[in-house]
Amino acid sequence: MDFSIRPRRGLIVYLNSMKTVKSLRRYGRIQYASRRMHYAVLYVDEQNVDTITEKLRQLRNVRRVMQSHWPELDPELIDLELTGLYKKHDEDEKE
């Protein structure tokens, strides 16, 4: 038996009503659901992201679907400095 890691992508699904959270299970794995903010975090396979996003947008109770940008980010801070998103401070150099 060969186990392999499949690339996955997080989808943030904003809902009008939390009654439909259980129905989202057929599209992927529900990681978190916020009753107060009316959203759910859903993980789906990377190859099916576009088709599942379109299916979710067609549902009646869904307001908005956003994709997570986590796989696209580079974990090294050096690139953030070059892009201007992160600037070193004097406190960072005190080592």
Could you state, in order of their start, the residue ranges of all structural domains in the chain? 8-93
pTM to 2 decimal places: 0.73
pLDDT at 81: 64
CATH topology of domain 8-93: Alpha-Beta Plaits (3.30.70)
- Beta bridge mates, 29: 43
For the stretch 29-87, pLDDT in tens is 999 999 999 999 999 999 999 999 999 999 999 999 999 988 776 666 566 666 666 66
> In angstroms, rounded to a whole number, what is the distance separating the alpha carbons of residues 86 and 89?
9
Structure tokens at 65: 């679907």
Q: What is the DSSP string of 34-84?
A: ETTTTEEEEEEEGGGHHHHHHHHHTSTTEEEEEE--GGGS-S-HHHHHHHT
Sheet holding 39-45, edge to edge: 29-34, 39-45, 8-15, 62-67
95 pLDDT higher than 80: no
For the stretch 46-61, pLDDT in tens is 999 999 999 999 999 9
